Amino acid sequence: MSSSAPAQNIAVLGIGLMGKPMATRLLQAGLSVTVWNRTRAKAAPLATLNAHIADTPADAVRDAHVVITMLEAGAIVRDVIAQAEAALRPGTLVIDMSSTRQSEAQEFHARLAARNVNFMDAPVSGGVLGAEAGTLAIMAGGSESDFTRAEPILKLLGRPTRVGPAGCGQIAKLCNQLIVGGTLGIVAEALMLAQAGGADPAAVRTAIRGGFAESRILDVHGQRMLERNFLPGGQVKSQTKDLENVLIAAASGGVRLPLAELLTELYRTILDVVPNADQSAALIALERMNPGKRVGDGPDQLP
């Protein structure tokens, strides 16, 4: 076992694109990990790393000191918590690393507190590659004592930062997704403008890297757009959900975010077309608004 990892039983609920590599890292660190997934077959391969495979959420959490949930949306988190909560022992720490609404995180916190179960929301950014490499940005909302308890575990997954009380992790994630989504949209527009103006989009991307326009998104997703590689890391449906939650949070806070409104509408135009495509498919949404215009000449790589 890693010297930085506490000797605790961990349950991971949700073994999907993100949950599987996260659980893998915990297992590779020598932790005792029980996993559950609605589709058991997705969790089964982790048995080769000595994971215990549970049949139900309740079975997974029964002996856990820390429970990590990584699920698709708040409604699913609510359902899984309902299935598990009777088996949670007082003092257990539940860390929801899904992307939900702030109000949902606060609801889960209150619901579990009534059972003397601790709760943190700790959504992440960094995608599948970040989950595999253990370099996720982790935005944690919860008490200082819960964060101190969770930090050694979260450090196995990435770089955790406490941003405030329960619910604030989700606000930080929305800020992240707003910046990511906005930058994706602008990079797509820049590449299309380059091509429409007769320049080589790939050469334009190379030329502006290193200047103030440089970003991780221009680097990674700009190249994906040029290659038309829309196989998912993040997904259109997740980005759209996050942007819709941005607008809900903005309304709750009494502010209007006009760029967020435009960006949300852009992603909504492809939500029913390529919901499982990578979020860099913002380029596809832009091309649908500009018939006959296309960046790159390769075939689309889609899930």
Phi/psi of residue 205, each to 5°?
A: -60, -45
SS3 270: coil
In whole angstroms, what is the distance from residue 294 CA to residue 262 CA? Answer: 21
Q: The tokens of 21 are what?
A: 């590599």
The single-letter code of the amino acid at 235 is Q
Is residue 129 within 8 A of residue 155, CB to CB? The reply is: no
The active-site residue, picked from 42, 155, 173, 237, is: 173
Q: Is 293 a residue of the active site?
A: no
In whole angstroms, what is the distance from residue 283 CA to residue 241 CA? Answer: 18
Q: Which residue has the tokens 């990892």?
A: 5
In whole angstroms, what is the distance from residue 235 CA to residue 14 CA? Answer: 17
Is residue 268 within 8 A of residue 240, CB to CB? The reply is: yes
In whole angstroms, what is the distance from residue 99 CA to residue 180 CA? Answer: 14
Supply the residues annotated as catalytic. Answer: 173
